[in-house]
C-alpha cells in the first residue's frame, strides 16, 4: 500500500524572531527576504515554537523572569509591538507531486503568513486550526539550511476581551497580571496528501447490551476541481487491549470539490467500554481510515476513541419550579458523581513553559487526590489535545467551559458568529475523547446588572446551537445559573451556585453555617486559598518582601486579610509568628475548609450530583488557589482533599466546629459510596482523639450499598480541654476481607461558637472598611506605598 500522507513538524528551536513597531515589518520587507544565508537574520533572537512572546523575550535576555516579583508590570511594553517569526525547512522529496499545505494548530491571537515571499493569508482566533495551500509555492531545491522560509507576523494582542469573545482566553480578572499572553502556542506542520485528504472525524457510540454501534462522520476534502469516486476503508482495533480480529467497514461515494461528509457505521460485538477510573476500565480503540481514489491510496487518518455514552438525568428531590435542567451525569447508564476540581491550568499561562511531562505529572496527582472529574472554567483556555489524551487514559472526565467569563458581551455580527464558529472548532478537535462529559457556554456571565443588559444569554444560546450540531456530548448554558441575576433572566433557583462567599466574605459567616445552606443540584465552584511553601515563595517573591510581607505578595494575588481571618476561624489566631507558621496555617486552613465543604456536598447525593473546588493548581506562581503550587509541589491541603474524595467515604457530620469544655459533642457518622459495588458486613470504627490519646471509641457493623449515602451512627462525647485546643473525630471503614475502604478524620476545637462568630464579624467589618478607604487593589495592604515625597 502506498501511503500518501507525509508530515513535517516544524516544532522546535529552529525559529528566529524580531520585534518591530506595528506595520513596520511589511514596510521593511521582512516577508520578502530570501532563504539563502542572510546577514539580516543572523542577529534575530533564537526562539521556540510552540511558545509565547514573554518566554522568548526572557530567553533572549530582553526581560527578566516575568513571574518574579512584579516583573510582569515591567514587561507590559512587549504587547505593544508586532513580532515576526521565521523558520527555514527542506521539504521532503516524498512531498513532490502531492497537495501540500502548512497547518497551524493554534496561533494566539492574530497573524499573517508568507512562504518564500508569497502571501498565504491571515487568521484570527487562538483556538481554531487553520491551513494554507502551499502546493505552488513550496520548493524542493537543496539550499543551505533549507530553501523554504516560512514567515509569520504576530499582531499585538487584543486588549478588550469583548472584541474577541470566545476566541481567546480571558486575560483580565481579579487574579490575572495586567498583561496579555500571546504567541504561536501550538505546533506548525507541513502536510502533503493526494487529491483526497481526510481532515476530521466525528465518532459516536450507541450501546446495546454487550454490543455497540460506532458511527462515524468523516470529513473528506476533494482537493481537485472535479468530482470523483472515493473509497473509505475503516479498521477498528484495540489500542490498549487486544481483540481477536480487527473490525472493518467500507464506504464508496462520489465527492465534489471541497469539503464532503461521509457517514459510516461499524457494529462492535462484545464492546469493551470506556469508564471513569472509579467505575471501570479505560478501554480505548484505534480507528484507521484510508482514502482510496483512482486506485491509489490518497490519505490515511488515525484516531483513538472510546466506546461510551454520556447522558444527563434530572436530579431527584427538586420540583419543576426549582430546577429545569438535568444535572446527573450518566456514563454508560450508570451514575457518575463528579468529585471535581476546577483545573486551573494550563501548567503555565506562558505557553512556552508547558511540557508533556508537566501535564503527565499534574494529572497523575489529580487521580492520586481521588478526583474523578476536572472542570476547565471560563477564565482558562480549553486544554490542548494532549491533556484530553491523558485524561482518556487515566479515566478522568472533563467538563469544559468556553472562554467567556464575568464580562458583558455585545452580539455584533463580527463578534457573535466568529465566536460560535470558534467554539464549534474547539469541540471538533476534542469531541472523540471519551473523557469529555460536558461543554458549557460561560463562566459567571449572569452575575451582575450589567450582564442583564448585555447579550450574554444570546451568546450562550447560539453557542449551544453550534455545539449541538457537532457533538452528542451534553451542553449546558453557563455556570452558575441560580444567582440573583440568573433568576432575573428566568433560570430556576436551585440549578447551580458558586459557593465562594465564605472565602471572599471571610468572617461574615462560619463555614459550618455557610456551606450547608447552599441547596443546589451542582456546586461547580467553591473557593479557599493558601500560600505555597517557603521554598516556593523564595522562587518568585524578592527576599526583602518575603517577611514581613511586601508588595509582591499582593501582586501574586494574596488576599492577606482574608488569609489571616480564615486562620482565625480555623485555629483561633492569625498564626503570624513567622513566615513558616503562617504558610503552614494557610495550607492547613485551606485543607480543612475544603474537607468540610466537600463532605457536606457529598452527603447530599443523589439530589446533588457534582461538586468542584477551586482550584487544583494555578497557571502562574501565586498565593491563592491550588492544592499544588505552580511548581507542581503538593500543599498540605492536598491530603485533606484526598481524604474527602475517597470513593468510599466515612464522613463526619457536625453542626459546629467549636464546643465548650463540658458540652456534649453530637455528630453523626455517614457512609457515602460512589462505587457501583456493595460491601456487606463492613466494620465502622470511630475514635475521639484528644491531647494525644484516645478519649472515646466504638465500632459497629454496616452494610454499604452500591452508589449510596446515608447516616449510620451517632457519636457523642463530653468535651475536654482548654480554649483553642484541638481534638479529632476519626472514622475507619474496613471490608470483611480486611481491606480499608475509608480512613478519615476531622479536626474540631474547644471553644465558644458564639464568641468566634462575633470576633470574625468584627474582622470582616474591618476588612470592608479597609477596602472602602484604600480601594480593592493589593495596595490596600500597603497604603504607605501609595505615598511619595
CATH of the domain at 660: 2.60.40.10
Question: Which residue has cell 515591567?
Answer: 74
The answer to the question of residue 618 being in a domain is yes
**Exposed e or buried b per residue across 530-556, where buried means at least 16 C-beta atoms within 10 angstroms of its C-beta:** bbbbbebbeebbeeebebebbbbbbbb
Contact 224, 99 (CB under 8 A): no
My answer on whether 160 and 201 are in the same domain is no
The residues with which 628 forms a beta bridge, in sequence order, are 634
Beta strands in 372-480 (DSSP E): 373-376, 397-401, 436-443, 475-479
The CATH number of whichever domain residue 635 belongs to comes to: 3.20.20.80
Q: 1 lies in a domain?
A: no
Is residue 186 domain-shared with residue 202, that is, in the same domain?
no
Using an 8 Å Cβ cutoff, are 601 and 674 in contact? no
578 domain residue, yes or no:
no
Residue 562 phi, psi dihedral angles, 5° rounding: -65, -45
Position 770 in a domain:
no
Residues 462 and 490 in one domain: yes
What is d(CA 173, CA 39) in angstroms, rounded to the nearest whole number?
Answer: 44
Residue 325 within a domain: no
What is d(CA 371, CA 317) in angstroms, rounded to the nearest whole number? 25
**What integer pLDDT is reported at residue 36 of this predicted model?**
59
* 168 plus 277 within the same structural domain: no
Q: Could you give the CA distance from residue 383 to residue 169 in angstroms, rounded to a whole number?
A: 11
Cβ count within 10 A of residue 773: 9
Helices 413-430 and 385-394: crossing angle in degrees, nearest 10, is: 40
Q: Cell 467567556 appears where?
A: 404
Q: Are 652 and 599 in contact (CB under 8 A)?
A: yes
Residue in the structure block whose three cell numbers are 462522520? 217
Q: Which positions ≥6 away from 440 have C-beta within 8 Å?
A: 378, 399, 400, 401, 402, 475, 476, 477, 478, 479
| Domain shared by 375 and 298, yes or no | no
Instruction: Write out residues in the chain with pLDDT < 50, as ranges.
Output: 1-2
Q: What is the pTM of this model?
A: 0.96
CB 368 within 8 A of CB 392: no
**Any domain includes 677:** yes
Number of H helices, E strands in the chain: 19, 36
SS3 645: coil
Residues sharing a CB contact under 8 Å with residue 176, sequence separation 6 or more, in sequence order:
170, 379
263 shares a domain with 200 = yes
> Omega of the bond prior to 635 within 30 degrees of 0, cis?
no
* Same-domain pairing of 451 and 595: yes
Distance CA 86, CA 18 (A): 9
* 8-state DSSP, 354: -
Cα(360)–Cα(90) distance, integer angstroms: 33
Question: How many domains, the chain?
Answer: 4
> 135 in a domain, yes or no?
yes
Torsion angle of the four alpha carbons 601, 602, 604, 605, in this order, in degrees rounded to the nearest 10 = 140
Shared domain check, 113 and 43:
yes
How far apart, in whole angstroms, are the C-alpha atoms of residue 722 and residue 749?
Answer: 9
Same domain, 720 and 697: yes
Contact assessment for residue 65 and residue 71, using Cβ atoms and an 8 Å cutoff? yes
| Cα distance between residue 400 and residue 387, in whole Å | 12
Domain of 714 in residue numbering reads as 651-751
Domain end point (choices 190, 221, 241): 190
Q: Is residue 292 within 8 Å of 233, Cβ to Cβ?
A: yes
Give the CATH number for residue 33.
Answer: 2.60.120.260
What pLDDT does residue 648 have?
98
Query: What letters, b where the CB count within 10 A reaches 16 and e where it falls short, cover 35-56?
Result: beeeeebeebbebbbbbbbbbb
Let me know the angle formed at the C-alpha of 67 by 591 and 179, rounded to the nearest 5 degrees: 105
- C-alpha 25/C-alpha 19 separation (Å) is 8
Question: Does residue 596 contact residue 745 with C-beta atoms inside 8 Å?
Answer: no
| Residues 608 and 634 occupy one common structural domain | yes
Q: Answer yes or no: are the C-beta atoms of 586 and 531 closer than 8 Å.
A: yes
At 295, give phi and psi (nearest 5°): 75, 5
Q: Answer yes or no: do 504 and 598 share one domain.
A: yes
Whether the CB-CB separation of 425 and 127 falls below 8 Å is answered with yes
Asked whether residue 119 falls in the same domain as residue 60, the answer is: yes
pLDDT at residue 294, rounded to an integer: 81
CA–CA gap between residue 737 and residue 739 (Å, rounded): 6
What pLDDT does 729 receive? 98
Q: Is residue 134 part of a domain?
A: yes
Amino acid at each position: 500500500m502506498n501511503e500518501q500522507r507525509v508530515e513535517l513538524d516544524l516544532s522546535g528551536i529552529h525559529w528566529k524572531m524580531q520585534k518591530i513597531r506595528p506595520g513596520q515589518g511589511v514596510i521593511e520587507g521582512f516577508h520578502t527576504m530570501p532563504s539563502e544565508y542572510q546577514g539580516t537574520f543572523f542577529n534575530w533572537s533564537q526562539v521556540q515554537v510552540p511558545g509565547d512572546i514573554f518566554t522568548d523575550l526572557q530567553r533572549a535576555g530582553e526581560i527578566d523572569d516575568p513571574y518574579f516579583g512584579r516583573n510582569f508590570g515591567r514587561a507590559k511594553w512587549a504587547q505593544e509591538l508586532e513580532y515576526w517569526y521565521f523558520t527555514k525547512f527542506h521539504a521532503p522529496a516524498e512531498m513532490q507531486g502531492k497537495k501540500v499545505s502548512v497547518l497551524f494548530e493554534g496561533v494566539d491571537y492574530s497573524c499573517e503568513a508568507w512562504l518564500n515571499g508569497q502571501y498565504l493569508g491571515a487568521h484570527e482566533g487562538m483556538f481554531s486550526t487553520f491551513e494554507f495551500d502551499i502546493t505552488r509555492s513550496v520548493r524542493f531545491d537543496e539550499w543551505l539550511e533549507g530553501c523554504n522560509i516560512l514567515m509569520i507576523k504576530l499582531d499585538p494582542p487584543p486588549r478588550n476581551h469583548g472584541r474577541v469573545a470566545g476566541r481567546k482566553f480571558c486575560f483580565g480578572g481579579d487574579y490575572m497580571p495586567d498583561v496579555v499572553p500571546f504567541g504561536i502556542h501550538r505546533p506548525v506542520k507541513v502536510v502533503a496528501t493526494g487529491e483526497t485528504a481526510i481532515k476530521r472525524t466525528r465518532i459516536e457510540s450507541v450501546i446495546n447490551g454487550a454490543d455497540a454501534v460506532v458511527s462515524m462522520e468523516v470529513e473528506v476534502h476533494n482537493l481537485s476541481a472535479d468530482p470523483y469516486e472515493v473509497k473509505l476503508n475503516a479498521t477498528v482495533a484495540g489500542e490498549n487491549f487486544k481483540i481477536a480480529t480487527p473490525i472493518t467497514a467500507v464506504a464508496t461515494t462520489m465527492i465534489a470539490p471541497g469539503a464532503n461528509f461521509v457517514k459510516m457505521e461499524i457494529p462492535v460485538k462484545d464492546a469493551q467500554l470506556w469508564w471513569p477510573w472509579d467505575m471501570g476500565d479505560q478501554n480505548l480503540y484505534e480507528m484507521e481510515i484510508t482514502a482510496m481514489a483512482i486506485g491509489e491510496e490518497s490519505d490515511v487518518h488515525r484516531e483513538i476513541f472510546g466506546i461510551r455514552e454520556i447522558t444527563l438525568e434530572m436530579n431527584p428531590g427538586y420540583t419543576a419550579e426549582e430546577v429545569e435542567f438535568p444535572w446527573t451525569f450518566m456514563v454508560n447508564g450508570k451514575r457518575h458523581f463528579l468529585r471535581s476540581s476546577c483545573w486551573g491550568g494550563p501548567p503555565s499561562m506562558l505557553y512556552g513553559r508547558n511540557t508533556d511531562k508537566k501535564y503527565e505529572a499534574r494529572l497523575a496527582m489529580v487521580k492520586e487526590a481521588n478526583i474523578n472529574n476536572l472542570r476547565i472554567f471560563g477564565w482558562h483556555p480549553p486544554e490542548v489535545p494532549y491533556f484530553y489524551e491523558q485524561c482518556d487514559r487515566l479515566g478522568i472526565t472533563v467538563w469544559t467551559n468556553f472562554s467567556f467569563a464575568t464580562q458583558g458581551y455585545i452580539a455584533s455580527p463580527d463578534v457573535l458568529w466568529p465566536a460560535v464558529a470558534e467554539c464549534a472548532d474547539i469541540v471538533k478537535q476534542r469531541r472523540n475523547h471519551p473523557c469529555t462529559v460536558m461543554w458549557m457556554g460561560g463562566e459567571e456571565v449572569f452575575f451582575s446588572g450589567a450582564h442583564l443588559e448585555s447579550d450574554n444569554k444570546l451568546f450562550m444560546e447560539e453557542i449551544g446551537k453550534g455545539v449541538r450540531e457537532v457533538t452528542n456530548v451534553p451542553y449546558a448554558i453557563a455556570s452558575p445559573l441560580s444567582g440573583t441575576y440568573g433568576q432575573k433572566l428566568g433560570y430556576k433557583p436551585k440549578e447551580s451556585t458558586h459557593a465562594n462567599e465564605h472565602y471572599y466574605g471571610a468572617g461574615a459567616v462560619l463555614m459550618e453555617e455557610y456551606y450547608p445552606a447552599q441547596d443546589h443540584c451542582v456546586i461547580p465552584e467553591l473557593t479557599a486559598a493558601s500560600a505555597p511553601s517557603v521554598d516556593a515563595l523564595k522562587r518568585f517573591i524578592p527576599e526583602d518582601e518575603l517577611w514581613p510581607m511586601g508588595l509582591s505578595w499582593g501582586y501574586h494575588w494574596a488576599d492577606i486579610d482574608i488569609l489571616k481571618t480564615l486562620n482565625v476561624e480555623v485555629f483561633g489566631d492569625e498564626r503570624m509568628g513567622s513566615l513558616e507558621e503562617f504558610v503552614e496555617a494557610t495550607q492547613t486552613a485551606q485543607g480543612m475548609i475544603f474537607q468540610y465543604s466537600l463532605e457536606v456536598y457529598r452527603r447530599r447525593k443523589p439530589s446533588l450530583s457534582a461538586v468542584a473546588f477551586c482550584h487544583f493548581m494555578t497557571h502562574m506562581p501565586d498565593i491563592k488557589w491550588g492544592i499544588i503550587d505552580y511548581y507542581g509541589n503538593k500543599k498540605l491541603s492536598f491530603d485533606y482533599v484526598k481524604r474527602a474524595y475517597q470513593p468510599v467515604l466515612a464522613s463526619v457530620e457536625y453542626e459546629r466546629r467549636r464546643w465548650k469544655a463540658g458540652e456534649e459533642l453530637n455528630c453523626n457518622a455517614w457512609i457515602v459510596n460512589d462505587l457501583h459495588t456493595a460491601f456487606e458486613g463492613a466494620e465502622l470504627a470511630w475514635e475521639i482523639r484528644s491531647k494525644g490519646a484516645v478519649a472515646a471509641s466504638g465500632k459497629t457493623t454496616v452494610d454499604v450499598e452500591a452508589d449510596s449515602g446515608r447516616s449510620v451512627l451517632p457519636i457523642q462525647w463530653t468535651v475536654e480541654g482548654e480554649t483553642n485546643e484541638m481534638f479529632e473525630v476519626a472514622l475507619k471503614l474496613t471490608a470483611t476481607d480486611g481491606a480499608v475502604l475509608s480512613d478519615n478524620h476531622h479536626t474540631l476545637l474547644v471553644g465558644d461558637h458564639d464568641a468566634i462568630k462575633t470576633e470574625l464579624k468584627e474582622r470582616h467589618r474591618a476588612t470592608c472598611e479597609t477596602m472602602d478607604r484604600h480601594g480593592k487593589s493589593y495596595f490596600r495592604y500597603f497604603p504607605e506605598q501609595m505615598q511619595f515625597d
